[in-house]
A and B are shown apart, each in its own frame.
Chain A
Amino acid sequence: EPEVTQTPSHQVTQMGQEVILRCVPISNHLYFYWYRQILGQKVEFLVSFYNNEISEKSEIFDDQFSVERPDGSNFTLKIRSTKLEDSAMYFCASSERQGNTEAFFGQGTRLTVV
């Protein structure tokens, strides 16, 4: 069964450092997403990406965040200067189309900012 893969599974970083979280979406999917889940809280939408541009972003996704699809397979989330409150699970997802379809989620990257 096709799957979304995320690396690393766990990342520890110093406050103020830049981090890049990596995702390999399912190969024929065209729509890509990042979500985050702070421990004990609900899953929150960050950004959706299609045709090499952001199609929607939440208010969480401020100037410290950026996304990129640097080649035909990877989809990355960069946090420029991490804060303690960025500690969370980050989930990547992909789908074939926008509506009337399922989104496939990766297993997540646990980001710990110290």
Chain B
Amino acid sequence: DAKTTQPPSMDCAEGRAANLPCNHSTISGNEYVYWYRQIHSQGPQYIIHGLKNNETNEMASLIITEDRKSSTLILPHATLRDTAVYYCIGGLSSGNTGKLIFGQGTTLQVKP
């Protein structure tokens, strides 16, 4: 499973875009990049995942660099409810058992 590196914390103003970076330089060609978040000790919540192409859903956008060594999660209009710990996780290729290896993540504080 690819090791990921994230900044420990970030701030964002309410209504602005939150851009959360992640380095995953050891990711292999068949490993996806997943993003989850955890709001105040609730169960982790899936946000988005991708392999090579940029992805967008109703929650966020995921931008993956061409060399796949890093990615950025974008919350286009952050709200106070987006304050959470955000985890970037590499892995979950088809041969994996499906486990997720959580790091320390980035604590995003959205401020009014």
Contacts and interface: CB of A to CB of B under 8 A. Distances in A.
Interface of A: 4, 31, 33, 35, 37, 42-45, 48, 50, 55-56, 89, 91, 93, 95, 97-108
Given A42-B103, A100-B49, A100-B92, A95 B43 contact: no
Given A43-B38, A93-B44, A103-B44, 11 more contacts: A31-B98, A45-B101, A91-B43, A93-B43, A98-B94, A98-B95, A99-B96, A100-B32, A100-B92, A102-B46, A105-B45
Contacts of B102: 35, 42-45
14 contacts: A33-B98, A33-B99, A43-B44, A89-B41, A91-B43, A98-B92, A98-B96, A98-B98, A99-B92, A100-B92, A103-B100, A106-B43, A107-B42, A108-B41
B46 A104 contact: yes
A103 B98 contact: yes
A100 B94 contact: yes
Contacts of A42: 102-105
Nearest to A42: B102
A108 B40 CA distance: 12
Nearest 5 pairs of A and B residues by beta carbon:
A105-B43, A102-B46, A56-B97, A43-B102, A98-B98
Contact of A99 (B43, B44, B93, B101): B93
Interface residues of B, number: 25
B98 to A, nearest CB: 4
A55 B44 contact: no
Contacts of B49: 100, 102
Contacts of A105: 43-45
B42 A108 contact: yes
Nearest to B42: A107
Contacts of B46: 102-104
A99 B45 contact: no
A99 B32 contact: yes
B99 A45 contact: yes
Most B CB within 10 A of own CB, among A43, A48, A93: A43
Contacts of A102: 46, 49
